[in-house]
Amino acid sequence: MEDYSAGHISTEEAAAIIDELNRTLAGTHVRFYRGVSYRHLMTFKGRCEVKTVPPHDILGKKIAEYLPTGVGSDLLRTLIDRSRGILAAAEINNIRRDLGENPATAIWLWGQGQMPMLPPFTDLYKVHAAAITAVDLVRGLAKLIGWDCIEVPGATGYVNTNYAGKGAAAVAAVDKYDLVFVHIEAPDEAGHNANVADKVASLEQIDANIVGPVLQRLRAEGEDWRILVLPDHPSPCTVRTHTPQSVPFAIAGKRVESVIHKPFNETTAAASDLHIDRGCDMMEYFLTIR
């Protein structure tokens, strides 16, 4: 696995490839759906109980040992294999090669599962919420729990995303929603790429163009607000994939008392006596602080 994202292929280029896959590889039980950049969706009707591996976990390794296994894996392996010839002839890839950019050489199927049925967020918390994200996984989860999704032009799910646009959309959404969730994928992508400079730059952009403006807007409302900032998981540049360590989080606003007066980082968070062991408990804690 040399490149899990085909050089972070653009959404427009990827859309042309997905359309070609639907013409040549899809069928009665298989269909492909466009996503953003290199992230897309394939649906399959039938029994499929497989084990798959994320492509960013096997960078620099031979893929033969990491292809899908289990019930239904023969079909997935066949689709991956057949996609090679289709993508080799794709005009988009010819152009990318001419430009010295990495072509998309094959599909990689992973992250399988059935659509879950989740209770509406408003039923659980009596809160009207919206999500701002360029990642379809997050957008799908938001829709499953009844959140609105706010689209931001130029949001790419990469380090070149429209940080200022996301910040402005969040500020505007404060007037309409009880809770606004803003997701930025850039630091994670920088970690997978082992690019420390991009990771630092993306964090600075988030701080300046999203957290800062949102916090300023909330403070203008008085005291009836609360803000939470955290990553969803570590993606260290040293290992280029996700790791299971706990993440730091910071909360400010109504009824929030500081437990430690030091910079926001992993070391400081570890020294705090405030720990939430399960990520699924984070939202309830945030919304119900007394």
Whether 224 is covered by a domain: the verdict is yes
Same domain for 94 and 135, yes or no, is no
Mean pLDDT value across the chain: 94
- According to DSSP, the β-strands at 129-132 and 179-182 are parallel
Q: Which residue in 26, 59, 57, 29 sits closest to 44, CA to CA?
A: 29
The answer to whether the CB of 183 falls within 8 A of the CB of 130 is no
Same domain for 148 and 67, yes or no, is no
Whether 276 is covered by a domain: the verdict is yes
Same domain for 47 and 182, yes or no, is no
> In terms of pTM, does the model score above 0.95?
no
Whole-number pLDDT of residue 173:
98
Whole-number pLDDT of residue 126:
95
Whole-number pLDDT of residue 35:
92
Whether 137 is covered by a domain: the verdict is yes
Same domain for 60 and 152, yes or no, is no
Segment 222-276, tens digit of pLDDT? 889 999 999 999 999 999 889 999 999 999 999 998 878 888 999 999 888 889 9
pLDDT value at 202 more than 80: yes
Same domain for 23 and 74, yes or no, is yes
Whether 33 is covered by a domain: the verdict is yes
Segment 97-109, tens digit of pLDDT? 999 999 999 999 9
Q: Measured between alpha carbons, how far is 222 from 55 in angstroms, rounded to an integer? A: 46
Whole-number pLDDT of residue 279:
92
Whole-number pLDDT of residue 288:
92
Q: State the CATH number of the domain containing residue 234.
A: 3.40.720.10
Q: Which residues have C-beta within 8 Å of that of residue 33, sequence separation ≥ 6?
A: 18, 40, 41, 42, 43
pLDDT value at 79 more than 90: yes
Same domain for 177 and 233, yes or no, is yes
Task: List the structure tokens of 173.
Answer: 């959404």
Whole-number pLDDT of residue 47:
84
Same domain for 255 and 182, yes or no, is yes
Confidence label for 37 from pLDDT (cuts 50, 70 and 90): very high
Whether 108 is covered by a domain: the verdict is no
Whether 112 is covered by a domain: the verdict is no
Return the axis-axis angle of helices 196-206 and 163-173, rounded to nearest 10°: 30
Confidence label for 219 from pLDDT (cuts 50, 70 and 90): very high
Segment 108-162, tens digit of pLDDT? 999 998 888 999 999 999 999 999 999 999 999 999 999 999 999 999 999 999 9
Whole-number pLDDT of residue 63:
96
Same domain for 194 and 56, yes or no, is no
Whether 5 is covered by a domain: the verdict is no
Domain count, the chain: 2
Task: Find the domain containing 17 and state its range.
Answer: 11-98
Confidence label for 96 from pLDDT (cuts 50, 70 and 90): very high
Whole-number pLDDT of residue 250:
94
Same domain for 144 and 60, yes or no, is no
Same domain for 178 and 277, yes or no, is yes
Same domain for 38 and 145, yes or no, is no
Same domain for 128 and 249, yes or no, is yes
Whole-number pLDDT of residue 221:
84
